């Protein structure tokens, strides 16, 4: 009698959030260098504007990708690797599955719920950093 054994496999997830974070830092650095080397009267610079827009957009892309990756890890059963308690991972996974991967949920709400799932106080929408993130998202959406 022989037992069939499945083919072992390896799965690896690439976290796009780290790429967004690098890009945000890069665009911020380019904008700062452009502004530091400017001399003379203030003038419009499409290059500098592009750096700033890139920094803002990539900052929000990082926040969105990071929290989505955390919820997805919990849903895939990898919460322990992400440092999540079993209860937090279970709650995050259930929320993720029942909201269609939270596609229509604002990024600040995802972070706030993760805090609640961890047993931490909810964030205050009128205070930092919650309010800062809200304004940066609005800026990106202009």
With 70 as the cut, is the pLDDT of residue 6 above it?
A: yes
| pLDDT higher at 3 or 46 | 46
Identify the domain containing residue 65 by its residue range.
16-36+43-140
pLDDT at 71: 95
Q: Please report the pLDDT score of residue 130 as a whole number.
A: 84
Say if 5 falls within a structural domain.
no
pLDDT at 106 (0 to 100): 92
Domain-embedded: residue 1:
no
Domain presence at residue 130: yes
Count: domains in the chain: 1
Specify if 9 maps to a domain: no
Q: How far is CA 106 from the centre of its chain?
A: 11
Which of 99, 101, 108 has its CA nearest to residue 127?
Answer: 108
Global confidence as pTM: 0.83
What integer is the mean pLDDT of 106-112? Answer: 93
C-alpha span between 36 and 28 (Å, rounded): 12
Residue 3 lies in a domain: no
- 95 belongs to a structural domain: yes
pLDDT digits 0-9 by tens, 16-74: 999 999 999 999 999 999 999 999 998 899 999 999 999 999 999 999 999 999 999 99
Note whether residue 52 is domain-resident.
yes
In a domain, 11, yes or no: no
């Amino acid at each position: 009698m022989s037992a069939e054994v499945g083919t072992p496999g390896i799965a690896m997830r690439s976290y796009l959030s780290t790429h967004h974070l690098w890009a945000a830092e890069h665009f911020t650095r380019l904008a700062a260098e452009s502004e530091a080397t400017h001399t003379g009267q203030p003038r419009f610079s499409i290059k500098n504007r592009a750096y700033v827009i890139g920094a803002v957009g990539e900052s929000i892309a990082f926040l969105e990708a990071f929290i989505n990756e955390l919820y997805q890890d919990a849903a895939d059963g990898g919460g322990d690797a992400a440092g999540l308690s079993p209860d937090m991972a279970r709650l995050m996974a259930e929320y993720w599955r029942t909201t269609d991967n939270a596609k229509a949920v604002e990024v600040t709400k995802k972070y706030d719920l993760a805090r609640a799932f961890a047993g931490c106080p909810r964030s205050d929408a009128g205070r930092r950093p919650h309010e800062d993130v809200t304004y940066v998202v609005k800026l990106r959406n202009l």
